[in-house]
Amino acid sequence: MNTTETGAVETARPKAPLIYNPKVRGIAYQAALCALVAFLVWSAIDNAAENLARAKIATGFDFWNHTAGFDISQTPIEYSATSTYGRAFWVGLINTLLVAGIGIVLATVLGFIIGIARLSKNWLVARMAGFYVEIIRNLPLLLQLLFWYNAVLKALPSVRESLAIPGGGFLNNRGLFLPKPDFLPGSSAALIALALGIVAAIAFRIWARRRQYRTGQQAPVFWVTFGLVVGLPLIVLALSGFPIRFIYPESGRFNIRGGIEVLPEFMALLFGLVIYTAAFIAEVVRAGILSVVKGQTEAAYSLGLRPGPALRLVVVPQAMRVIVPPLTSQYLNLTKNSSLAVAIGYPDLVQIFAGTVLNQTGQAVEVIVITMAVYLTISLVTSGLMNIYNRSVALVER
Amino acid sequence: MKNVVIRIVLATALGVAAQAASAQTLGTVKSRGALNCGSNGSLAGFGLPDSQGRWTGLDVDFCKALAAAIFNDPGKVKFVPLTAKDRFTALQSGEVDLLARNTTWTSSRDTTLGLNFTGVNYYDGQGFMVRKALKVNSALELNDAAVCVQQGTTTELNLADYFRANKMKLKTVTFATSTEALKAYDAGRCDAYTTDASGLAGERLRLANTGDHVILPEIISKEPLGPAVRHGDDQWFDIVRWTHFAMVNAEELGITKANVDDQMKSENPDVKRLLGTEGKHGEALGLSNDWAYRIIKHVGNYGEVFEQNVGQGSQLKIARGLNALWSKGGLQFAPPVR
């Protein structure tokens, strides 16, 4: 029965030619589109290579190991004019990551403070925070960077009239100079104490939390942590006779040498990025907090929580679900905006690599491709990490 | 295989002008009706637009001379201001037809960057400027100094070389444009500012208190500045090169903007060949035979252009020095037109 039935159906419906089959057609269209895109990409590369060859412009990545010949003002890793272009690339990359990393941390802290302040019941505090957000986010970042750079240069004294910072530091328009700790042999005991202190502090926190769940009793977590992480290494240091020497900055004929040097370009860029991005983060935070229904706050108050703990324990954890995705965008913006460093002479990746190296080698295609790939990688890693964090704070549906 | 449309689309997409790279520049310029000249937008004496937007300078006049030779109209130039950093990419990609932007002729620029320098229209060298108050008399006393410098220049490299060779320590602060570098120097960020000696004279005039700054005597490098074109177009290379030679030859033969019409009647064979009253030297370049007449009539000879822009007729008051004619102890020497 079955066979005759199906057989009858098959004969009843005439076999359509393959080109009228919607599935086959769909696949054919997509294959054609892919082939076209592949052809365009291949032609573009081929055409560019042909043009470069005809103009006898050097191609390839040989330049990576050639001597750079120029100096860089901020070198977190060993670098001199005799180093290679490749080394210069790493210097630029680390400088970019340095300003972006510190900038993200500071912008988050400042952004949360401003965002929460804007919702404050104190009229003056709320208005000041609103004023800050509206002024800062409505001015172009480049303008702000130039403002901060000129402010840093103009407001700070010249080298000869350096402000002395208690403890052996100096501040002037060439930068901030701080004593640099030099760890002598014997200081390892203190480092071990620091590591032990951190481990012990984490263990104590876990124990304190468990006890609180069980009995409702709170432990002085902050002071114990502080004692373990700061106090313990200090005691060990004192016992071993302070085996740390400080290298103090000294003034030379023109400049201050030695110690830790923070460039005014770095300070201006960090200031500008943090203040600008914090305004956006503040709005993200405000939106997140407002998204938590008022009943949650009221419930927390009715349980007897004071406003501080109510915000910290009830409102913010729920607000994080709304805050994290746009916060990621702000982190990416800050990282990419750090390339405006070029305007104020901070040696970041764009200034060194897409600037001087490109100019000297003339290999625009290679250098720009590498630079774009680096920013893409940084951005993808940042959003990857934020997505992992987002998953941990997202609403778990059961 | 590669049809024209795809080529144009891709060439635009990649910023690599396929046609411009081959031997077509003169035709492209003529059909466009204007010369695209890569210029310095902020250097007095070489390339600077004034308050009315009129461009002046030695390099600017070079482009005007080239436009005069091609169009018989020095106004048919579009000046494209470029930073030191971006200038080579702009020329390589065909955005400009030539680069006349006080650019130092070096071997790597002549080879791996895909450029050809057509000659030297200004012999220069690198110097330093410091504040008088520092009481520095020589560049060799600059050990440990902070120096402000412009990015993407031979200056940046010479600076590192000079300090290394003299075993001195250096703190460079690098900026994308000379304006920013100079501003930072003026604000006290650096002890010294360095660029080509001709540039120092011009930049000093832009500082708040010109008298507070001195230019040190040392010249630490050779900086032959000249116009550059792309590899691969010999005709265009010849035209640009002989524009400069025509101006130098005119000075040597005593032909000036004022007397060029009288000189057309001259019986001197050198003058006749240069001005096109004898021979077909202009047509050989792909121009008209009165090409040099047009240059001198509209712009002037090399000496006139020099004095007007950087010499006694300008604020800079730079002496001819190395840029005098070879017959007067300088280096400006042009092959004969014949």
- Token code pair at residue B198: 């001709």
Q: Identify the band that residue A335 occupies on the pLDDT scale cut at 50, 70 and 90.
A: very high
What is the 3-state composition of chain A as percent helix, strand, coil, each rounded to the nearest 5? 70, 5, 20
The pLDDT-based confidence of B9 (bands split at 50, 70, 90) is very low
Q: What is the pLDDT of residue A13?
A: 66
Query: Would you give the distance in Å from CA B327 to the centre of its chain?
Result: 23
Provide the whole-model pTM.
0.83
Measured between CB atoms, does A174 come within 8 Å of chain B?
A: yes
The tokens 């064979």 sit on which residue?
B269
Residues of A (69-108) whose Cβ lies below 8 Å from B? 69-73, 81-82
Residues 6+ apart with CB under 8 A from A349: A89, A92, A93, A95, A96, A339, A371, A374, A375
Do A46 and A102 belong together in one domain?
Answer: no
Checking if the pLDDT of B4 tops 70, the result is no
The residue out of B221, B243, B268 marking a domain boundary is B221
Please give the mean pLDDT across all residues of chain B: 90
CB contacts of A261 in chain B (<8 Å) are none
Bridge-based pairing of strands B223-225 and B145-150 is unpaired
Q: Are residues B113 and B249 in the same domain?
A: yes
C-alpha distance from B182 to closest chain A C-alpha (Å): 12
**Which two three-digit tokens encode residue A239?**
């016992």
Within 10 Å of residue A74's Cβ, how many Cβ atoms? 22
Integer Cα distance of A366 and B10 in angstroms: 17
Q: For position A155, what pLDDT does the model report?
A: 84
Helix axis angle, B58-71 relative to B302-309, nearest 10°?
Answer: 140
CB B79 within 8 A of CB B60: yes
The DSSP secondary-structure symbol of A252 reads -
Residues 6+ apart with CB under 8 A from A269: A99, A145, A148, A149, A338, A340, A341, A344, A346, A348
Distance of CA A200 to the CA centre of its chain: 29
Residues A27 and A97 in one domain: no
Among candidate residues A82, A169, A145, A126, the one with its CA nearest the CA of residue A276:
A145
Say how far apart CA B101 and CA B150 lie, in whole Å: 14
Q: Which of A176, A158, A336 is closest to A265 using CA atoms?
A: A176
Query: How confident is the model over A261-312, as pLDDT tens digits?
Result: 899 999 999 999 999 999 999 999 999 999 999 999 999 999 999 988 898 8
Q: Contacts of residue B151 in chain A, CB cutoff 8 Å?
A: 351, 355-356, 359
Angle between helices A123-137 and A85-118 (to 10 degrees): 150
User: What pLDDT, on a 0 to 100 scale, did the predictor assign at position B125?
Assistant: 94
Q: Which of B111, B113, B147, B149 is the best substitution to test chain A (most A C-beta atoms within 10 A)?
A: B113
> How many Å lie between the alpha carbon of A154 and the closest alpha carbon of chain B?
7
CB B199 within 8 A of CB B105: no
Domain count, chain B: 2
What is the per-residue pLDDT for A10? 52
Please, which pLDDT band fits residue A46 given cuts at 50, 70 and 90? confident
Q: What gap in Å lies between CA A75 and CA A80, rounded to an integer?
A: 9
| A52, A69, A93 - which closes a domain | A52
Residue B165 amino acid letter: A
Q: Are residues B29 and B82 in the same domain?
A: yes
pLDDT at A381 over 80: yes
What is d(CA B104, CA A140) in angstroms, rounded to the nearest whole number? 36
% of residues, chain B, pLDDT over 70: 93
| B237 and B199 part of one domain | no
Instruction: Give yes or no for residue A4 having a pLDDT over 60.
Output: no
**Window 349-378 of A, Cβ < 8 Å to B:** 351, 355-356, 358-362, 364-365
A240 found inside a domain = no
**How many Cβ atoms are within 10 Å of A149's Cβ, its own excluded?**
26
Does residue B164 share a domain with residue B90? no
A130 domain-assigned: yes
Q: Verify that A112 and A174 share a domain, yes or no.
A: yes
Residue where a domain terminates, one of B221, B243, B275: B221
Q: Maximum distance among all alpha carbons in chain B?
A: 69
DSSP B19-46: TTTSTTHHHHHHHHTSEEEEE-SSBTTT
B87 and B230 inside one domain: yes
Assign residue B186 the CATH number of its domain: 3.40.190.10
CA distance B61 to chain A (A): 26
Task: Please check whether residue B336 lies inside any domain of the structure.
Answer: no
The radius of gyration of chain A from alpha carbons, rounded to an integer in Å, stands at 30
Host domain of residue B59: 4-123+225-328
Q: Report the C-alpha gap between A55 and B231 in whole angstroms.
A: 5
pLDDT at B23 exceeding the cut of 70: no
Same domain, A114 and A258: yes
Asked if A158 is an interface residue toward chain B (Cβ–Cβ < 8 A), one would say yes
Instruction: Give the closest-approach CA distance of B285 to chain A in angstroms.
Output: 21
Residue B29 covered by a domain: yes
A159 and A261 belong to one structural domain: yes
| Cβ contacts of B142 on chain A, cutoff 8 Å | 254
Same structural domain, B302 and B177: no
What pLDDT shows up at residue A54?
Answer: 78
Across the interface, whether the CB atoms of B112 and A150 are under 8 A apart is answered no
Nearest-Cα residue of chain B relative to residue A70? B157
Of all residues in chain A, the percent with pLDDT exceeding 90 is 48
Task: Report if residue A198 sits inside a domain.
Answer: no
Using one digit for the tens of pLDDT, what is the confidence trace for B279-331?
999 999 999 999 999 999 999 999 999 999 999 999 888 999 999 999 999 99
The answer to whether residues A13 and A121 belong to one domain is no
Give me the mean pLDDT over the B40-66 stretch: 92
Our CA-based measurement puts residue B231 at a distance from the nearest CA of chain A, in whole angstroms, of 5
Last residue of a domain, one of B189, B221, B253: B221
- Of A52, A81, A153, nearest to B184 by CB-CB distance is A153
Contacts of B88 in chain A (CB under 8 A): 359, 362
Give the contacts of A26 (CB within 8 A, at least 6 positions apart).
none
**Mean pLDDT (whole number) for B26-36:** 95
Query: What is the model's pLDDT at position A334?
Result: 95
B102-119 pLDDT, tens per residue? Answer: 999 999 999 989 899 999
Tell me the nearest-neighbour CA distance from A336 into chain B, angstroms: 18
| Three-state secondary-structure class, residue A377 | helix
> Would you say residue A215 lies in a domain?
no
Residue B338 lies in a domain: no
Comparison of pLDDT for B308 and A53, the residue scoring more: B308
Residue B8: the pLDDT is 43
Query: Are residues B295 and B216 part of one domain?
Result: no
Closest CA to B286 of B66, B98, B116: B66
- Residue A216, domain member (yes or no): no
Residues of chain B with Cβ-Cβ distance to A82 below 8 Å are 164
Going by the DSSP 8-state scheme, the letter that residue A15 receives in this structure is P
Secondary element (H or E) of residue A256: strand A256-257
Per residue in A232-271, pLDDT (tens digit) is 888 888 887 777 778 888 887 788 877 888 999 999 999 9
Residues A156, A105 share a domain: yes
Which amino acid, residue A199?
V
A residues 225-244 closer than 8 Å to B (CB) = none
pLDDT of residue B17: 43
Distance CA A155, CA A149 (A): 10
Do B215 and B132 have their domain in common?
A: yes
How far apart CA A217 and CA A228 sit, in angstroms, is 21
Least confident of A145-159, B158-172, B216-230: A145-159
**Phi, psi (degrees; rounded to nearest 5) at B131:** -75, 140
User: Is B183 contained in some domain?
Assistant: yes
Same domain, B119 and B130: no
pLDDT value of position B96:
95
Position B333 in a domain:
no
Q: Which of A39, A145, A360 to mutate to test the interface with B (most CBs of B within 10 A)?
A: A360
* Residue range(s) defining the domain that contains residue A22: 2-52
B23 with B166, same domain? no
- Same domain? A148 vs A18: no
Q: Is residue A22's pLDDT more than 70?
A: yes
Report pLDDT for A159: 82
> What average pLDDT does the segment B136-155 reach?
91
User: Distances in Å between the alpha carbon of B167 and those of B128, B161, B299?
Assistant: 17, 10, 47
Domain count, chain A: 2
Examine the domain organization and report whether A347 and A285 are in the same domain: yes
Give the whole-angstrom CA distance, residue B179 versus residue B197.
Answer: 16
Please give the pLDDT value at position B18. 42
Nearest CB to A359 within list B152, B161, B191: B152
What is the Cα gyration radius of chain B? 21
β-strands B126-131, B192-196 pairing: antiparallel
Residue B292 buriedness (CB in 10 A; 0-12 / 13-18 / 19+)? buried
Q: Please, are residues A133 and A283 in contact by the beta-carbon 8 Å criterion?
A: yes
Q: Within this chain, do residues B26 and B117 fall inside the same structural domain, yes or no?
A: yes
Residues A103 and A48 in one domain: no
Nearest to B114 among A40, A55, A81 (CB): A55
Q: How far apart are CA A9 and CA A2, in angstroms?
A: 11
Do B199 and B231 share a domain, yes or no?
Answer: no
Residue B236's pLDDT is 96
Q: In terms of C-beta distances under 8 Å and separation of at least 24 residues, what long-range contacts does A128-133 make, across chains too?
A: A129/A282, A132/A279, A132/A282, A133/A279, A133/A282, A133/A283
Q: How many CB atoms lie within 10 A of CB A253?
A: 14
CA A47 to chain centre: 37
Partnered with residue B195 across adjacent β-strands are: B127
- Residue A1 confidence (pLDDT): 44
